[in-house]
Amino acid sequence: MNWVLVIVGGMVGAPLRYLTDHAVRSRHDSAFPWGTFVVNVVGCLVLGALTGAATAGAASSHLQLLLGTGLCGALTTYSTFSYETLRLAESGARLHAAVNVVASVTAGLGAAFAGVAAAQAVWA
């Protein structure tokens, strides 16, 4: 059962990342990897909220496997984030590469803290 939840979450999360990146690229012709940035920050917000809800007893372990380990885990990515940062640096856009790292980590952490705080405000 646990494996099924992770698999189902992964089967939704990864295509959502693919579609988000596709949507962002088709609307903004930018060298900056906005698609990965957006999915990572949104995933951090959702996982933060889920973690806050679980701490308050409002999210079951099954829901955490489905939405946390499966969906948010597959929606967000470290490998593409790293590779895109390297590509930016290699193409000469070193400032963009540095901004990508700082902005992704700052916004991701901010979203995680905000998600936890929001869930605690709702359920605690």
- Sequence ranges of the binding site for Na(+): 73, 76
Rounded Cα gap, residues 74 and 16, in angstroms = 9
User: Would you call 79 exposed, middle or buried from its count of C-beta atoms within 10 A (0-12, 13-18, 19+)?
Assistant: exposed
- Least distance between another protein and beta carbon 108 (Å): 4
Q: Is 116 in the site for another protein (CB under 8 A)?
A: yes
Output 48 or 96, the one with its CB closest to another protein. 48
Q: Is 43 in the site for another protein (CB under 8 A)?
A: yes
Q: What is the largest CA-CA distance in the chain?
A: 49
Helix (H) or strand (E) holding 45: helix 34-55
Helix (H) or strand (E) holding 10: helix 2-27
Q: Is 54 in the site for another protein (CB under 8 A)?
A: no
Q: Which of 32, 56, 58, 87 binds another protein (CB under 8 A)?
A: 87
- Number of residues forming the site for another protein (CB under 8 A): 62
Rounded Cα gap, residues 120 and 116, in angstroms = 6
The site for another protein (CB under 8 A) is made up of: 2-3, 6-15, 17-23, 25-26, 33, 35-36, 39-40, 43-44, 46-48, 51, 65, 68-70, 72-87, 101, 104-105, 108-109, 111-113, 115-116
